[in-house]
Structure 1
Amino acid sequence: MALTTDPLDPLPAAADLPQGRSLWADARRRFFRNRAATVSLVVLGLIAIFAFGGELVAQYERDTIDFTLIGINATKGVPSFATGHYFGTDQEGRDLFARTVQGTRLSLLIGIVGSLVAVVVGTLYGAIAGYVGGRVDSIMMRIVDILLSIPFMFVLILLLVMFGRSLLMLFIGIGLVSWLSMARIARGQTLSIKNKEFVEAAIATGVRPLTIILRHIVPNLAGVVVVYATLLIPEMIIYESFISFLGLGVQEPNTSLGSLISRGAAQIGNGVPWQLGFPLFFFVAMLFAFYFVGDGLRDALDPKDR
């Protein structure tokens, strides 16, 4: 029997109609379904609280030397809540908890700022090359190929030796050399976006090319950029840690996780495993958390996996 509808029946309320979801709302829901990514996001939050709020609970300053512990830290400088040295002391008698807080904060900032510089420069460079195309695209990408052929660590070490071992040069060196891969990714995505209808409509209405790049091309690269930036942060942290492990990175009295791991590894045979264990724990936890978050973002923002 056919169904009939009474024309006098009221129309369905707006709340009864199916509600649509935006791409970002759908991606957020898919991300939080990923348990590994969600737990990793919580871990990153706890590490950030430790890095930026740990000094509030530290009993000692990071550069305060306890001269009574120098030479006997293997027996007297052990981790203890009674003495206030929660992570013990290093070989110079300095509180390892306060220094781990500073090292975690510095490594986190280097990873985030270096990744931000690389993403901004690489995205703009790749979007311009992909949108303009032709000979300009060929020249710009050949420059990228030439720079990619130069060993990254050699360039970074050369910059630190020539212009001084400072935090500013470390930020600039890591960020400005790491944008090359981002440029190639942004250029490839731009080649597929610039032929879309909304870009052609903007061209037809007389919008300037730079405005099209900034308002139409770059926002549509946001998904790829966010995923790549999340995966680039641990790479920046590893680079900085390796440079500091060689003694060319962060200089005293400042410290980073790489410097702490280097100093702790040198003392591992002297019966002080905490000097290596605590910095290494935060280093590994930070790397794995960023990788799992990046993997979760990639799955959440991938339209082919919906």
Structure 2
Amino acid sequence: MSATLEHAPSQWVLVRRRFFRHKLAVTGLVLLAVLAICCFGATWIAPFPENQQDLFLGSTGPSAEHWLGTDELGRDFLSELLFAGRVSLTIGIAVALLATLVGTVLGSIAGYLGGWADELIMRTVDLFLIVPAIAVLALALQGLGSTTVTIVLVLAALGWTFIARVARSQVLSLREKEFIDAAKVLGASTMRILVRHMLPNLAGVIAVNISLSVATAIILESTLSFLGFGVQPPQSSWGNMLSQAAGLLGTSQVYLLVFPGLFILVTVLCVNFIGDGLRDAFDPHAKH
């Protein structure tokens, strides 16, 4: 009689299966993917080119030609929403990736090395956490200029602290494990231990943090742009579209205010659903 040995599925296979069983996460992923495709493909998908104006047309309501109407400059509002979404999503994704990279590296170094490195990095984290974020961001952008690059750098500069604290706590736990001791005995360098042994075990934390950081960055960018410190015209983002339409509350053109807010809300909800799904996929026994 021959026995058939079945290989147990790998950790990544289990994570993928658990994620795709999370209905809200899958729904969020599909909706966010559709929105991202429409925004990043706006050059080909949007019914009108970016910033194409028709001053004689002016502001009009929804019609067969302009599904969401036009703004005061005669620009097709649906097209502007998609082009603005490209900017907002780019900022959100770039900030999340940069902040997560910096926070993971510094947090891992602090947790693994300890001593003066840990003290220096964590006191820096504490300093960043006590500053009033919106005020500092507004002042920094006013001084450096509100380009997309400076917005990303400034938001990332204040956004790395949370993942640094989480990465540090994870590494503090991991460095006491037997496989880390074995790697040290075999002569593995600090860099090799961090990259080959620590980093894979931080994958779940990193994935969840990236998803949540995207949502946070989009909200912060929208807030700053609404206050006039973020993305500046003629470039559009969902935040400065809200700012430009703020005076229309209570008028027949209130939809110019509603749709940018709706796009922000849907995006943030989708990203949070994805984050919940990733958290449950990597740590199904965690208590929420």
Shift of 1:281: 2.0
Q: In 1, distance between residues paired with 2:258 and 2:284? A: 41
Aligned: 1:79 with 2:67: no
Q: Which moved more, 1:276-285 or 1:190-199?
A: 276-285
| Structure 2 counterparts to residues 138-287 of structure 1, below 5 A | 138-287=119-268
Computing the radius of gyration from Cα coordinates, the structure with the larger value is 1
- Deviation by residue 1:161-192 (Cα, 9 ceiling, x = unmatched): 11112111101001121001111000000000
Give the secondary structure class of the aligned counterpart of 2:228: coil
1:257–1:283 Cα contact (<8 Å) kept: yes
The 2-side partners of 1:99 and 1:151 are apart by 32
Rounded to whole Å, the distance in 2 between the matches of 1:46 and 1:117 is: 24
Runs of 4+ in 1 over 3 A off after TM superposition: none
The alpha carbon displacement at 1:303 in A equals 4.9
Please name the residue that 1:89 is paired with. 70
TM-score, normalised by the number of residues in structure 1: 0.89
Which letter maps to 2:203?
A
Identical residues among aligned pairs (%): 40
What is aligned with 1:298?
279
Could you tell me how far 1:228 is from its partner in structure 2? Answer: 1.3
Aligned amino acid, residue 102 of structure 1: F
In 2, are the aligned partners of 1:130 and 1:188 still within 8 Å (CA)? yes
Number of residues paired by the alignment?
287
TM-score by length of 2: 0.95
**Inter-partner Cα distance in structure 1 for 2:274 and 2:262:** 18
Q: Deviations over 1:77-126 (max 9, x none)?
A: 21222x2x222111121111121011111111111100001100000000
Q: How far has the Cα of 1:19 moved from its partner?
A: 3.3
Q: 2:43 aligns with which of 41, 46, 55?
A: 55
SS at match of 1:27: helix
Secondary structure (helix, strand or coil) at the match of 1:249 reads coil
In structure 2, the gaps of 5 or more residues are none
Letter in 2 for 1:26: L
